[in-house]
């Protein structure tokens, strides 16, 4: 079944409450027992956690009940001193007020035992731009052109970076009131960079395919002199006095930063403190998230390319919704220094563009160690547009293309069901039926992609995901996120966040307090098994084709494998109607005239090979050339 990220958070929240909760449960129970005056933390950055009472035998009983374990009475008293002493250590650590950018003293490695990577860098080989490409009379006719074609026009001085920058700035201002994708325009910085790019190119100092191209940053990347809001209430005026490594590297490549773009608050969904970012194909819908602004602005032809991030679908989902191409690199390929941390073992930065080769050019500029993000490996990204993709072994995840299994039958309505309960039950049934109808309709596009691959001469190798409890590993994300934003919870500042529902971050952070260290480590051990088993699939195939909205999205984010998400056509007029209101709870709401996508997966640090095949599919289909019709 398709995977919805908000639903996963809800499921994993319930998982957390059902596991061995002992340390977190005790802490939370003690907090609830604190005097009311202390428990009401103020919503200021100076607020401190309440002073907690000592743990009692009764609290141990309550925590054990939550954890589903039994502790004999003769052991409870012996535990008290150690538990109270252990809890006191929490307060000492909190006094450090650890900034979000301080990583834990461990580094996640996605490679299975015995794996090696190629660190020998080679000069990238890009495709040649069409010989007929010329500058139009109206520069705005280039708004939806690929980054590589724009680069060729800039290199040949058929257009100027200054004029291109002004054109995109004007479009950002024109469409932001409709799509709500912008947080901060970096106009002065951009104009200075554009003038410098034009002067360099005129002198023959061409830095490469990104030189002079305007781009947008997801507003979790620090940019010196500008706010970095993380899309969240309470952080609107936050300024971080450095440029993120990715920003520095794009500056060095000559790219022009023109905007900081929206993300769902603290990287969840498409709703930020200023509203909901919209889908250019249907502005009644959100753009999905959390790389909401980068996908929307790229799709709307308001930037040449953008940088997003993914922890659990945040490049994949908005790229699908907005009909653009996204590359989620191998974990540890691109340094995250200067980016908001959500999960140190799952966060990845990557490009959102109009075409695969655009993504390759961006990764070429931003990948590699920076000495600060210790997760980044010295591995090579050797782009070769001329790679013989027909020599690659191509697999496909068969189960993601199979019809969905029938849903279990509904439980009979209770005899004492009220009118309101009946109305809610019938509404849930209608929603499930519409979901099934949308999924069945979208499956036609998945199957058409397999037919197209066969027509290209690809001999697809059927593969399946191993049977492991992947969903039970996702609480690793929420535990790390709760640690990254610990002070929001302990000071009460979490009330400043826009969204406060059961599936939103404030509640997820509170639930994560119940996730114990032992279970966190056990889930990581299970994750090691997942890495080994998924890596075995890439012993059978170089690239794997899969339906985008399937279990693989969770699996490969856990294992750190790269993914390239490409447009795969538009839904027809006969598509099932989308919900009347986009609540943000369903990533696949569809509707006539909206995009669908296909995903390609690759082996660890073999992102260039992955992109070469994804580009071949784009060349055979041309779906990346479709763009929304905006007023």
Is beta strand 543-546 parallel, antiparallel or unpaired with respect to 595-602?
antiparallel
Active site residue 314: yes
Tokens of 212: 């002079």
- Closest to 182 (Cα-Cα) out of 292, 267, 301, 285: 292
- Closest to 343 (Cα-Cα) out of 505, 528, 534, 116: 505
Contacts of 366 (CB under 8 A, 6+ apart): 245, 246, 249, 250, 307, 334, 335, 349, 351
β partners of residue 339: 221
Catalytic position from the list 19, 290, 316, 319: 290
Contacts of 63 (CB under 8 A, 6+ apart): 21, 22, 25, 26, 29
CB 591 within 8 A of CB 582: no
Q: How far apart are CA 383 and CA 591, in angstroms?
A: 36
- Closest to 402 (Cα-Cα) out of 436, 437, 454, 446: 446
Is beta strand 256-261 parallel, antiparallel or unpaired with respect to 182-185?
antiparallel
Q: How far apart are CA 89 and CA 85, in angstroms?
A: 7
- Closest to 289 (Cα-Cα) out of 266, 305, 259: 266
Q: How far apart are CA 603 and CA 541, in angstroms?
A: 9
Active site residue 495: no
Q: How far apart are CA 156 and CA 173, in angstroms?
A: 28
Catalytic position from the list 218, 260, 348, 609: 218
CA atoms in the 13 A half-sphere facing the CB of 562: 28
- Closest to 513 (Cα-Cα) out of 89, 25, 15, 8: 25
Dihedrals phi, psi of 543, to nearest 5 degrees: -135, 145
Tokens of 119: 């660190």
DSSP SS3 for 626: coil
Dihedrals phi, psi of 627, to nearest 5 degrees: -150, 155
Sheet containing strand 543-546, edge to edge, reads: 182-185, 256-261, 214-218, 305-310, 348-353, 325-328, 563-570, 595-602, 543-546, 394-397, 461-463
Catalytic position from the list 309, 314, 319, 597: 314
Q: How far apart are CA 376 and CA 171, in angstroms?
A: 36
Q: How far apart are CA 118 and CA 324, in angstroms?
A: 29
CB 436 within 8 A of CB 407: yes
Q: How far apart are CA 598 and CA 278, in angstroms?
A: 21
CA atoms in the 13 A half-sphere facing the CB of 34: 15
Is beta strand 394-397 parallel, antiparallel or unpaired with respect to 278-279?
unpaired
Dihedrals phi, psi of 232, to nearest 5 degrees: -120, 140
Q: How far apart are CA 613 and CA 279, in angstroms?
A: 28
Catalytic residue numbers, as ranges: 218, 290, 314
């Amino acid at each position: 079944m398709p995977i919805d990220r908000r639903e996963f958070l809800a499921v994993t929240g319930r998982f957390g409450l059902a596991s061995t909760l002992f340390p977190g449960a005790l802490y939370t129970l003690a907090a609830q027992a604190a005097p009311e005056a202390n428990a009401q933390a103020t919503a200021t950055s100076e607020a401190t956690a309440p002073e907690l009472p000592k743990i009692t035998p009764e609290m141990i009983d309550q925590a054990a009940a939550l954890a589903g374990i039994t502790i004999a009475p003769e052991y409870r008293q012996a535990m008290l001193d150690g538990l109270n002493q252990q809890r006191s250590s929490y307060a000492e650590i909190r006094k450090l007020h650890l900034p979000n950018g301080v990583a834990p003293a461990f580094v996640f490695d996605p490679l299975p035992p015995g794996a090696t990577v190629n660190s020998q860098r080679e000069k990238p080989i890009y495709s040649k731009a069409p010989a007929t490409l010329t500058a139009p009379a109206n520069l705005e006719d280039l708004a939806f052109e690929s980054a590589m074609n724009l680069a060729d026009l800039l290199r040949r001085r058929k257009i100027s970076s200054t004029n291109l920058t002004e054109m995109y700035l004007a479009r950002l201002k024109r469409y932001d009131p409709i799509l709500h994708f912008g947080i901060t325009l970096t106009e002065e910085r951009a104009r200075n960079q554009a003038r410098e790019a034009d002067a360099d190119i005129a002198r023959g100092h061409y830095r490469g395919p990104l030189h002079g191209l305007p781009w947008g940053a997801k507003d979790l990347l620090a940019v010196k002199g500008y706010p970095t809001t993380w899309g969240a209430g309470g952080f609107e005026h936050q300024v971080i006095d450095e440029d993120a490594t990715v920003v520095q590297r794009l500056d060095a490549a000559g790219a022009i930063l023109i905007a900081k773009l929206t993300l769902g608050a603290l990287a969840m969904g498409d709703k930020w403190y200023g509203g909901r970012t919209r889908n250019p194909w249907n502005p009644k819908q959100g753009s999905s998230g959390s790389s909401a602004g980068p996908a929307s602005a790229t799709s709307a032809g308001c930037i040449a390319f953008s940088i997003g991030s993914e922890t659990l679908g945040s490049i994949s989902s908005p790229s699908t919704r907005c009909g653009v191409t996204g590359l989620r690199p191998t974990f540890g390929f691109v340094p995250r220094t200067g980016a908001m941390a959500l999960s140190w073992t799952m966060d990845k930065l990557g490009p959102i563009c109009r075409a695969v080769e655009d993504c390759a050019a961006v990764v070429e500029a931003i990948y590699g160690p920076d000495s600060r993000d210790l997760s980044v490996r010295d591995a090579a990204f050797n782009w070769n547009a001329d790679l013989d993709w027909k020599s690659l072994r191509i697999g496909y995840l068969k189960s993601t293309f199979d019809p969905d299994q029938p849903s279990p039958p509904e439980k009979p309505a209770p005899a004492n069901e009220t009118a309101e309960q009946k109305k809610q039950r019938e509404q849930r049934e209608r929603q499930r039926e519409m979901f099934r109808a949308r999924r069945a309709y979208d499956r036609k596009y998945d199957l058409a992609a397999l037919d197209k691959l066969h027509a290209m001469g690809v001999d697809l190798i059927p593969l399946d995901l191993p049977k492991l409890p992947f969903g039970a590993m996702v609480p690793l994300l929420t535990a790390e996120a709760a640690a990254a934003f610990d002070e929001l919870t302990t000071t009460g500042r979490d009330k400043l966040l826009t969204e406060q529902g059961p599936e939103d971050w404030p509640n997820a952070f509170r639930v994560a307090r119940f996730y114990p260290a032992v279970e966190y480590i056990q889930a990581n051990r299970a994750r090691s098994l997942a890495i080994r088993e998924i890596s075995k699939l890439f012993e059978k195939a170089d690239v794997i084709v899969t339906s985008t909205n399937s279990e693989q999205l969770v699996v490969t984010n856990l294992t750190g494998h790269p993914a390239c998400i490409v447009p795969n056509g538009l839904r027809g007029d006969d598509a099932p109607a989308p919900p009347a209101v986009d609540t943000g709870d369903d990533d696949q709401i569809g509707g006539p005239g909206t995009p669908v996508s296909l995903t390609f997966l690759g082996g660890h640090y073999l992102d260039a090979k992955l992109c070469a095949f994804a580009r071949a599919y784009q060349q055979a289909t041309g779906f990346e050339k479709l763009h929304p019709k905006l007023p």
